[in-house]
Amino acid sequence: MKKILEVDRVTKYYGGAVVTKALDGISLSVEEGEFVAIMGASGSGKSTLLNVISTIDRVSSGEIRIEGKSVSGRSEDELSAFRRDKLGFVFQEYNLLDTLTVGENILLPLNLRRVPVKEAEERLKKVSEALGVSGELDKFPLELSGGQRQRAACARALITSPALILADEPTGALDSKNSKVLMSTFELMNASLGATILVVTHDAAVGSHAGRALFLKDGKLWNEVIRGKRTRREMYADILSVTAALGGEIDVR
């Protein structure tokens, strides 16, 4: 399988007077079509890892490659173009632009790529129907429920068929019912639409939907659980046992 993401001995320091080591020599890789969850307690470094992978932050040392190309040493404009062309994002707070309609939000990444209108609309139709938001395209984000908004955010992340979709605590603002619907959406995106997904979460139930869960502790990769051919419930049980060994600082729903 083709490696989409390679994280090679990445270290990240923060701070001025007091220096904090947020990531400590992490190495991992994600293959095409994989659904990977990064888990860990608060302060374990999972959001920092997501930020450096998404090129929003820079590494202190080490290297990150996406589709075999290093993201280090690129200019700000090159990184913007890279994010636009290679990555899709789903955030905890949806990050939908409240001034745009849902349809305009989903189309925005295609507009940025100057995709012809006809093609863009065809892709909008396809992705919005797949994620169940086709009836909400003319509404503004504030007119939708949290679950609908997050599905719209997923559609926006998916519409460009990015190499990698990054999700940062995507269920953080949702109730348990909408969380389940969203994770089913992620599974659909992964299984049916072939999206490669890297999700950061501290929710064991969310992690159980992934094919592989990586655990961070104090900025280091601490453990890994692979679902394989097991059921989601078995995966969930495994995550809970790793969590217990970690100190029980992960949400259980």
Partner 1 sequence: MFVKLALRNVKRQVGNYLVYFITVSLTVAMMFAVNSAIFSPALTDRISGIADLKNALFFLTAFVALIVSAVLGYATSFILRLRKREFGTYLTLGMTRRNVLMLFFAETMFFCVLALGTGLAVGALVYQGLMAVIANLMETAYSFSAYSAKGLILTVCLVAAVFLLSSLASAAYLRKVSVRELLHGDKKVERQVKHPVLWLFVTVVSLAAVVGSCIFFSAEVERSVRGTGSGGNLLLAVVVLAAAVVFFHIGAAKSVVRFLLGCKKLKNRGTNAFALRQLSGRLSANAVLSGALAFLIAFAVIGANVSFVQKISNDAIFAQSYPFDVGGRTEAGEEAPVPFDEAERIIEDYAEIESAVYTAVYTSGERYLHGFTPWSGEEYEGLTDCFLTESDFNALYVPLGYEPLHTDGGFYIYSGSAVISSADFSAAFLELPGGSYFYRGTLSGYPYPQFSCYFCAVVPDEAAEGLEEDTFCAAYTLAEELSGEEARALEDALSYEYTPPSGEEYTYFRCDYDIRELARMAMNANSAEFIVSALYLAVVFVFLAMAILALKTLSEIPEDRRRYGILCRLGVSLREQSRTLFGQIFAFFFLPFALPVCLSIPAGLICRQILRLSDLAVSGVAATTGGIALVLTAVYALYFTAAWLVAKKNIVRE
| Least distance between partner 1 and beta carbon 28 (Å) | 22
Spell out, one character per residue from 146 to 175, where the chain touches partner 1: x when CB under 8 A holds, - when not. Answer: ----------x-------------------
Looking at the Cβ atoms of 42 and 99, the one nearer to partner 1 is 99
CB 39 within 8 A of CB 87: no
Residues 54-70: b if buried by 16+ CB within 10 A, e if exposed: bbebebeebebbbeeee
Q: Which span sits near partner 1 by CB under 8 A: 15-23, 26-34, 77-85, 175-183?
A: 77-85
| Least distance between partner 1 and beta carbon 158 (Å) | 13
CB 191 within 8 A of CB 172: no
Residue with tokens 């007077």: 17
Q: Pick the closest to residue 34 from 163, 157, 196 (CA basis).
A: 196
DSSP assignment letter at 250: S
Q: How many CA atoms lie within 13 A of 81 on its CB side?
A: 6
Looking at the Cβ atoms of 115 and 237, the one nearer to partner 1 is 115
The β-bridge relationship of strands 212-217 and 35-40 is parallel
| Least distance between partner 1 and beta carbon 177 (Å) | 22
Looking at the Cβ atoms of 58 and 220, the one nearer to partner 1 is 58
Task: Find the binding residues for partner 1 in span 49-68 (CB under 8 A).
Answer: 54, 56
Grouping H, G, I as helix, E, B as strand and the rest as coil, residue 14 is: strand
Spell out, one character per residue from 82 to 121, where the chain touches partner 1: x when CB under 8 A holds, - when not. Answer: xxxx-x-x-x---xxxxxx---x--xxxxxx-x--x--x-
Contact residues for partner 1, defined by CB under 8 A: 54, 56, 76-77, 80-85, 87, 89, 91, 95-100, 104, 107-112, 114, 117, 120, 140, 142-143, 156
